[in-house]
Amino acid sequence: MEEVQRPRVGRKRSEAARRAILDAALELLRLHGYARLTTDAIARAAGVGKQTIYRWWPSKAAVALEALTELGRAIPSPETGSLEGDLAAFLASTFRLLRGPRGTAAVLKGLMAEAQLDPEFARGFAVFIASRRGALRAILERHAGRAEPARLEAAVDMLFGAMWYRLLVGHAPLDIAFARVLARLSARSLRPVRG
């Protein structure tokens, strides 16, 4: 006898509550970092009950990562007509999101540190990182799709590696000039090899 699938019960997810929770989580991450983030604090700041958060997310880590993922989706996938132009625009938008008093640089640094200490969180963080890598790789494939996959992966690693190095070490700014330099170097490295 076939088992009948029952419709899921419970309240429908309110988009206004979801947005308030994600916005509150980002604001608290900016102010206090991941280590001091609590579900209670998110609920208070969002004006919802703690049970609402647990109904939709299994942990504070899941809330934080969804908030960052939503923010990452706001970075456009530009089409300037050239690989160098698209990369420069994508990286400049990414760097702009990190900088300034409302930037996410401190948030990302804290989450990267947490990922080194907490294997469960690291798995979720890897999904967030993969989504950002996918967005960048799509730009590379659009212009240099015939390049061997290993070269495209190396280019993604170099571009994001340079970003993370400056983000974590803090020895130089993540600015538009750096975005342009990275874009130029990457575009040159992905030109077809003539034999």
| pLDDT tens for each residue of 91-116 | 999 999 998 778 889 889 989 998 99
Q: What is the pTM of this model?
A: 0.83
What CATH number belongs to 15-60? 1.10.10.60
Give CA–CA dist 195/179, Å, rounded.
30
Distance, CA of 115 to CA of 18 (rounded, Å): 24
- Single-letter code of the amino acid located at 160: F
Helix (H) or strand (E) holding 185: helix 176-189
pLDDT of residue 12: 63
- How far is it, in rounded angstroms, from Cα 187 to Cα 31? 37
Model confidence at 6, in pLDDT bands (50, 70, 90)?
A: very low
Domain spanning 75-189: which superfamily? Tetracycline Repressor, domain 2 (1.10.357.10)
Q: What is the pLDDT of residues 22-74, one digit of tens each?
A: 999 999 998 988 889 999 999 999 999 999 999 999 888 889 999 988 888 88
pLDDT of residue 102: 81
Count of helices and strands (H, E) across the chain: 9, 0
Domain segments of the chain: what residues?
15-60, 75-189
